[in-house]
Structure 1
């Protein structure tokens, strides 16, 4: 039941993998990636929310958020930045980083992906000019896009830096990523689609392994899924958001008294049961507003409201704007690239 709830939310966010970089690094090196929002329109046009990820294939590296302690990566490790934060990858803490310029990302958009990048100390080359240094570490760097409505419990539950160690469980990803890079480099048909699907599978697997390794005393939405009583209630809400769930009904399904259920649910999830039901209905409605051509009235009934007016009031109260205006603001916009004074073939320039 818990797995079904997680799958339900993962389907709602509609993951989409993006083109990525095959990076070889050696010497004393460090790179700083900008906030994902600064490159989102280039790497994943139309995506509502963009995350960056890295998979260490060989060697060693460190990953860190600015101002936080770095985390050491071993071969097969995955690190994802679910909130799209700027971050640093380096050979060792304290190495001055080169900044990954958004203008450079835009200028190299047309270069086939995965694009080779070679960093040897302070020297940087890419594309045709990239040559793998001796004794290099290899890293796959990519992007994931997803829909992000007004209430997404999964993204809210994930840490700003999600580090999942291979530990034997994730070693399959290391080999699969390597094969995907080779398929793209050989121009084999379907290589791009393979990369995208692997990226999406990688994220789902990372979330599942992260949830499975949470400590027993952990709280939050992912911890709530594995709780027998609260997980049961969440599964019922997600299976049928249109149903007029009452506290008594959910507490009965969880085999708890009303007071014990409310206390346990609120402590684990972070919001009261009635608030969660209302927010999830709005999230489902936002997905329908973005993805379907159904009228606001039809969507209101689909998520359990008795009238369009009641739905509009609830949506406006939680989101800040009425559903029709939210739909207009969240329609996919055509990509407009800014010009950039950089060449589109390999070279040494970084910014």
Structure 2
């Protein structure tokens, strides 16, 4: 049930992957990435948010987040993938403690995707000691992205996490090497889809590691009671749910569901439903030819006017303003 909800959210927030850089590095070397907010539209035109990732296919390197709360450098070894969900500035280097000036010029998507990934060589001359594949995941953050809110500042997925993860990482590495070498038609699309699969599996691995003390959307999905309630809301978002009906179908008391849901999510079930409806509506409004009245009905509003008021109250824009 939780897996289906995760799939629905990934679709609603329009997750898309992109393999952007093919990096060959010779020590000593360093590259610093700016905040993703500064480059999101350049690397993924139209993206509200960009998540950066780095996959080490050979050798090793160090990664550290700069600015904000202290973050100790982390060593990445062959087969590791690092993900920076919230787009914080960070440094990837041959040794910890190195810094560089971010190069904004390289973060511009070409008109023809066949030009991707950009091949970059960095560091000294001579035989390289590291090879990385780096890219981005674009997604919507507005009006509601419960997944992004639940992810940590940094994620590292290594070989040995699970057999499924190992299989995806190996396939991604093999395919990336072959596609970059042979430049076959559709290579970028293949690599982008594989990167998305690796990211989704990374989310699932992170979710499996959460303890019972964790809160947030992913913890809520894992919770037997709250997970059932969320699945019901996602299954029938247009239904005029009441807390009593949701509790009954979830197999709990009204107070029990409200208390547990609010503890894990920070707000009650019906407020979650409203947020989810607004995200569904935002996605539909981005599609050409879809009428506002039809969207209103799809997400559970009897009138276009009532929907428009609710959407503007939540997003700060009317449906027509959002669409434009």
- Per the normalisation by structure 1, the TM-score is 0.84
Task: Choose the corresponding residue for 1:157, options 150, 155, 161.
Answer: 150
Say whether residues 1:222 and 2:218 are aligned partners.
yes
**SS state at 1:291 partner:** coil
Task: Choose the corresponding residue for 2:287, options 280, 288, 291.
Answer: 291
Deviations 1:273-309 (A, max 9, x none): 1211111111111111112422212211110012112
1:343 equivalent in structure 2: none
Say whether residues 1:282 and 2:285 are aligned partners.
no
Measure, in 1, the Cα distance between the counterparts of 2:128 and 2:42: 32
Task: Choose the corresponding residue for 2:235, options 233, 236, 239.
Answer: 239
Deviations 1:234-289 (A, max 9, x none): 00111110011111111112222111111100111222112111111111111111
2:182 equivalent in structure 1: 186
CA distance 1:308–1:184, shift in 2 (3 Å): same
Measure, in 2, the Cα distance between the counterparts of 1:176 and 1:164: 13
Moved over 4 A (4+): 107-111
Bigger drift between 9-18 and 34-43 goes to 34-43
Task: Choose the corresponding residue for 1:74, options 74, 77, 93.
Answer: 77
Measure, in 1, the Cα distance between the counterparts of 2:64 and 2:308: 42
Deviations 1:31-59 (A, max 9, x none): 21012233333322233322211111222
2:117 equivalent in structure 1: 114
Q: 1:78, 1:166 within 8 Å by CA — same for their partners in 2?
A: no
Say whether residues 1:147 and 2:143 are aligned partners.
no
Give the superposed CA RMSD: 2.1
Deviations 1:111-154 (A, max 9, x none): 9322322222xx4xxxxxxx7x4351221101122233301111
- Per the normalisation by structure 2, the TM-score is 0.90
2:130 equivalent in structure 1: 137
CA distance 1:135–1:325, shift in 2 (3 Å): closer
* Runs of 5+ consecutive residues of structure 2 not aligned to the other structure: none
Measure, in 1, the Cα distance between the counterparts of 2:101 and 2:170: 26
Which structure carries more relative contact order (alpha carbon 8 Å, separation 6+)?
1
Q: 2:13, 2:279 within 8 Å by CA — same for their partners in 1?
A: no
CA distance 1:107–1:2, shift in 2 (3 Å): closer
CA distance 1:107–1:285, shift in 2 (3 Å): closer
Measure, in 1, the Cα distance between the counterparts of 2:121 and 2:102: 13
Say whether residues 1:171 and 2:174 are aligned partners.
no
1:8 equivalent in structure 2: 8
Say whether residues 1:264 and 2:260 are aligned partners.
yes
Measure, in 2, the Cα distance between the counterparts of 1:296 and 1:50: 28
**SS state at 2:286 partner:** helix
CA distance 1:116–1:18, shift in 2 (3 Å): same
**SS state at 1:99 partner:** coil
Q: After TM superposition, give the deviation of residue 74 of structure 1 in Å.
A: 2.5
Say whether residues 1:48 and 2:48 are aligned partners.
yes
